[in-house]
Amino acid sequence: MAQAPLATAVSLAGGLGFLAAGTNTSSLTASLSHAKKLLNHPEASPSPLSVGIGFIVWGSDLSTAVQAVRSFVPAAIWLFSPRLTTDLVTWSEKLREASGGKSQVWIQIGNVAAAVEVAGLCKPNAIVVQGADAGGHGLARGAGIISLVPEVADALDREGHGHIPLLAAGGISDGRGVAAALTLGASGVVLGTRFLAAKEAEMKPGHAEEVLRTSDGGLNTIRTTLFDVVRGTNRWPAEYDGRGIANRSVEDEEKGMDSEENRRLYEEALAKGDGGWGKEGRMIAYAGTGVGLVREIRGAAEIVEELRRDAIAGLEQTRARF
């Protein structure tokens, strides 16, 4: 979903867009070349490329990542979900070295202990604090950012890492959420679910409609490992599940259907392509609880500008009220 058109549109609007390498680094070079072209980035430029790359560490190939970072020097490298924390140390060191120190290393964590551990071991340029409302994969046991961000900030301060900027992720879909996260002590915010409804996101029409259709995110999304089970992507470390829109597979599991049958029915729905989304469908739409605030498809630049404008207005209005 997050390929060069979306990532570069966010960056050109003053955010920082990330290319999703996920666990598959095979198309990374093509995505980075596309991003470089869209950004009009000169060949001999001493500045890094204005996009980041997101890697899912447990399932990605480090040598392909090193090659891509060496050739394209992205502004930031995003690391998430290692099997072992020591893998993050190796990835941070190798990718920093590959970029000649020009790419920042951002690490996404989901609890206070992990924040303190990665701050000490990896010296990240930023820590992404992912709360339980986030769409996509995250820790099964977690807290919302309203308590997680300030507790992480206090713990890092205590341990001498208070200078590391925190970026809040999870459940932020509009300017009010951005204002709240900044008030909690975050230096910036990360939005995933909101950009599923960006014009530039690579979404099948049925998938996008499902995102727009879904409201009441706490009720209609669920944290589960079922989506990985039916998709056959269940090699995630045990502490992770994922939040997505509750669908027919979830309902069937709740009624007692076994995983094999559920998986077979998913494969059948998959063969129907774009026909399988919706409340009665089995196609998977990872999304956070903020999905209920996502109501229309807009250009990514417009979304970034609106978030910034509404956050500033929200902070000013709050100040005026109290």
> In the set 287, 301, 304, 307, which binds ligand FMN (CB under 6 A)?
287
Q: What is the DSSP letter of 271?
A: H
Q: Draw the binding track, 57-86, toward ligand FMN (x: CB under 6 A; -: no contact).
A: -----------------------x------
Judged by CB, which is closer to ligand FMN: 41, or 82?
82
Q: Draw the binding track, 93-132, toward ligand FMN (x: CB under 6 A; -: no contact).
A: ---------------x---------------------x--
Tokens read off for 162 = 């208070």
CB 240 within 8 A of CB 136: no
- 């499902």: which residue's tokens? 210
Note whether 22 binds ligand FMN by CB under 6 A.
yes
Taking the complex as a whole, the smallest distance from the CB of residue 92 to ligand FMN amounts, in Å, to 15
Q: How many residues does the chain have?
A: 322
Judged by CB, which is closer to ligand FMN: 134, or 269?
134
Note whether 133 binds ligand FMN by CB under 6 A.
yes
Q: Which residue is nearest to ligand FMN (CB)?
A: 192
- Pairwise CA distance, residues 153 & 106, whole Å: 16
Give, as ranges, the residues between 149 and 168 that touch ligand FMN (CB under 6 A): none
> In the set 191, 198, 250, 301, which binds ligand FMN (CB under 6 A)?
191
Note whether 192 binds ligand FMN by CB under 6 A.
yes
Q: Which of 147, 204, 198, 202 is nearest to 170 (CA)?
A: 147
CB 29 within 8 A of CB 228: no
> In the set 52, 135, 276, 292, which binds ligand FMN (CB under 6 A)?
135
Number of neighbours of residue 252 by Cβ within 10 angstroms = 18
- Secondary structure of residue 97 in the 3-state scheme: helix
Taking the complex as a whole, the smallest distance from the CB of residue 79 to ligand FMN amounts, in Å, to 8
CA within 13 Å, CB half, 239: 14
Taking CA 279 as the corner, what is the angle to CA 206 and CA 253, rounded to the nearest 5 degrees?
125
Q: Which stretch binds ligand FMN (CB under 6 A): 33-41, 67-75, 187-195, 304-312?
A: 187-195
Note whether 56 binds ligand FMN by CB under 6 A.
yes
Residue 224: φ, ψ to 5° = -160, 160
Q: Which of 76, 57, 69, 63 is nearest to 98 (CA)?
A: 69
Write out the residues near ligand FMN by the rule CB under 6 A.
1, 20, 22, 54, 56, 80, 108, 130, 133-136, 169-172, 190-194, 286-288, 290
